[in-house]
Amino acid sequence: MRFVSLFLNNRLTIAPEILVNDSSLKAVPFGELSTLEQPPLNPTFQYDKKLQQILYGKQLLFDELPFTVDQIQLHYENGYVKYSHGICKTSNGYLCSRCGNEKSRLFAMFSCFCCKNDNCVYCRNCIMMGRVSECTPLISWSGPEVRWSRGNKLHWNGELSSGQQVASKEFVERFGSDGKLLIWAVCGAGKTEVLFQGIEKALNLGLRVCIATPRTDVVLELAPRLKAVFPNTIIASYYGGSEERETPAQLVISTTHQLYRFKQAFNIMIVDEVDAFPYSYDKSLQHAVSRAVTPKHFLLYLSATPSKTMKKAAMNERLPCVKIPKRFHGFPLPVPKMVWGGEWKRRLEKGKLPAPFLKWLKAQGESGRRAMIFVSSVSVLEKLSELINRVVDVPVDSVHAEDPMRKEKVIQFRNEEIQLLVTTTILERGVTVPFLDVAVYGADHDVFTESALVQIAGRAGRSKDDHNGDVLLFHYGKSLSMIQAINHIKNMNKEAGI
């Protein structure tokens, strides 16, 4: 967009070109305005409550707001809305102030029809949330704060395991001011229940809470559970395509990507699966977390497989940590077994399956039990599922990240309409199905890191009636990650005293 500078009530202000009918004023691309004058708050102005509720604690684009440019401009002129630059020039390139991207390869420019600049720079890193370019202002709320209700009662009478109790108490007692805590809980420990009491306390102190997780599946699973136990609280879920983004919620469940929309919003940030893709290696998502929290905030990390850095920080007590080594049902974690699978890749290319795998597959098919078969890539996925389909006479399907039917297939698998599900590592977390066995085809491949294998093994034995699912790693030479994963699991079982 282009803006003009003009005097309003004897103060220099800016206004979108399209709202000004004065051709003598020179319009310039928004990015070229070096100072953005902020008009003082006009206390007699009747601001729009809905705009306040949508915009409070966020930073959005014009396109994301269900208000006209006029309405937003009016709030700006009365000091209730602030405009800021989305893309800033730095000494060695650009910075996207929404996602924190500074990599020059993730900026591009185009000849822009809105600002008539032939080289309008935009950020490609956060393009999925709408384009932030040099000429698009980021809009935030600078009027009065939203006040939250204090009547948030927890409606839950389940019981915590002893491990959960310790972690829950730690969370409740630690926050209040700044601070952080890592809850290291094995897969199946029941980490959601650990959060309940802490969240209740925070909500009743008038604090705003966010649970951020890398995956949409987890948001979809958590939101109804939390809505059920906090029936009097306004809760909104944020993920690509969610419809609750305009709800003024005190408790937000969001994918890490959607955090880009927030600014200084949360007093308590709970980061789920802190080690998981893509959070762990995406600096800009860490930026999103740090932007979404208020200056004083409490950070709670949850993980079954914390990264090396995090474990180290926990060890030298820079990061307070509580462990829950025992599963909720009290039985040990199934320990993976390594099975020689020969040249699994070459055989696949020749249209053949390694004998030990074939043997397992046939037995599994006959047993009637469900199994997830993890593979290293989409190309292996396609070949393997085709071969499996030829060998066994049970319902087989496959799923990967880009699969448009992913959600439906996971539901079918849950409903036992699919018995054998071949998958990439995309389902290494989250999917919890009772009476399940797990196999990894080509476990020595690099994508199967220690934490990936621990998560994969964590799929098995989730129910107390079937706590001993099989976990088989078919390999062509043991990898270090395989050995580390097995030791990791054995150690956790030892710590749990079982």
Partner 1 sequence: MSYCLYCHESYSKAWSWEVLIGLEVSPLLCQDCEGRLVSVKGEICRICGRDFSIFPEQYRQGDCCFDCIRWEENESWTGILQQNRSLYVYNDFMKELIAKLKYRGDAEVVKAFYPVLSSEFKKISRDAILVPIPLSEERHYERGFNQAELLAGGLKKQVESLLKRKIHEEKQSKKTREERLSQKENPFEVVDSVKVKDQKVILVDDVYTTGSTLRCAAKVLIEAGAKEVSSITLAR
The minimum distance between CB 379 and Zn ion, in angstroms, equals 14
For residue 320, give the DSSP letter: -
x/- letters, 385..404, toward partner 1 (CB under 8 A): -------------------x
- Pair type for strands 137-141 and 107-110: unpaired
**360 is a contact residue toward partner 1 (CB under 8 A):** no
User: Of Zn ion, partner 1, none, which one sits near residue 385, judging by CB under 5 to 8 A according to partner kind?
Assistant: none
Peptide bond into 278 cis (omega under 30): yes
Q: Return the residue matching tokens 């290696």.
A: 281
* Of residues 323, 395, 314, 380, the one with CA closest to residue 346: 380
Applying CB under 8 A, among 69, 114, 154, 447 the residue interacting with partner 1 is 114
**59 is a contact residue toward Zn ion (CB under 5 A):** no
Taking the C-alpha atoms of residue 453 and residue 471, their distance in angstroms, rounded to an integer, is 10
x/- letters, 127..156, toward partner 1 (CB under 8 A): xx-xx-x-----------------------
The minimum distance between CB 165 and partner 1, in angstroms, equals 44
* Of residues 186, 473, 241, the one with CA closest to residue 341: 473
Taking the C-alpha atoms of residue 392 and residue 441, their distance in angstroms, rounded to an integer, is 16
**105 is a contact residue toward partner 1 (CB under 8 A):** yes
User: Of partner 1, Zn ion, none, which one sits near residue 126, judging by CB under 5 to 8 A according to partner kind?
Assistant: Zn ion
Question: 261 phi and psi, to 5 degrees?
Answer: -75, -15
Residue type, 472: L
User: Of partner 1, Zn ion, none, which one sits near residue 127, judging by CB under 5 to 8 A according to partner kind?
Assistant: partner 1
**216 is a contact residue toward Zn ion (CB under 5 A):** no
Q: 41 or 405, CB closer to partner 1? A: 405
Q: Which two tokens stand for residue 474?
A: 């078919």
The minimum distance between CB 117 and Zn ion, in angstroms, equals 5
* Binding to Zn ion in span 73-102, by CB under 5 A: 96, 98-99, 101
Biggest CA–CA distance in the chain, Å, is: 84
End-to-end Cα distance, the chain: 64
**120 is a contact residue toward partner 1 (CB under 8 A):** yes
Cβ burial, residue 192 (10 Å; 0-12/13-18/19+): middle
Residues that bind Zn ion (CB under 5 A): 96, 98-99, 101, 112, 114-115, 120, 123, 125-126, 135
Residues that bind partner 1 (CB under 8 A): 105-106, 108, 110-114, 120, 122, 124-125, 127-128, 130-131, 133, 378-379, 404
